[in-house]
Amino acid sequence: MSENTVIENTVVDEETTVEETELTFEEIVSEIVDEVYGTNEMVTAYKIAKIVNAVFAAYEFDKTIPPQMMYNYAKNGMINKIKDMKQQYAKDQATAFVIRYTKKQMGI
């Protein structure tokens, strides 16, 4: 098993039969993004910070980032090359940034 996968255990019946499914890093990030986005089409840098922190928590990585840091990244065009602190981001933009950022921070 590679270091980029996590095992998800699912109880199949009352006899505690367990089915193991390997999820890739990208699939886990996508699930977290879907959960944070909910029915929203766009999110701000604040929500991207929440997604990054949720990924860190899912991998038990001892780091959290403040939302202000993501606003600084937005202002400097580091999320999607547009320098705008008030920019809102589509799901695919946020997912790509979170994958890139968290992999770099966690050394994956």
* Rounded distance between C-alpha atoms, residue 108 and residue 97, angstroms: 15
pLDDT band at 105 (very low <50, low <70, confident <90, very high): very high
- Domain total in the chain: 1
Within 10 Å of residue 75's Cβ, how many Cβ atoms?
15
CA neighbor of 81 nearest in space, from 99, 103, 102, 96: 96
List pLDDT tens digits, range 83-100: 877 788 888 899 999 999
Cα separation values, 96 from 9, 14, 58, 79, 90, Å:
27, 39, 18, 9, 10
The Cα–Cα gap between 60 and 52 comes to 12
- What are the tokens at 18? 């367990």
Q: Which domain holds residue 87?
A: 5-106
* Structure confidence by residue, pLDDT tens digits, 32-61: 888 888 877 888 899 999 999 999 998 899
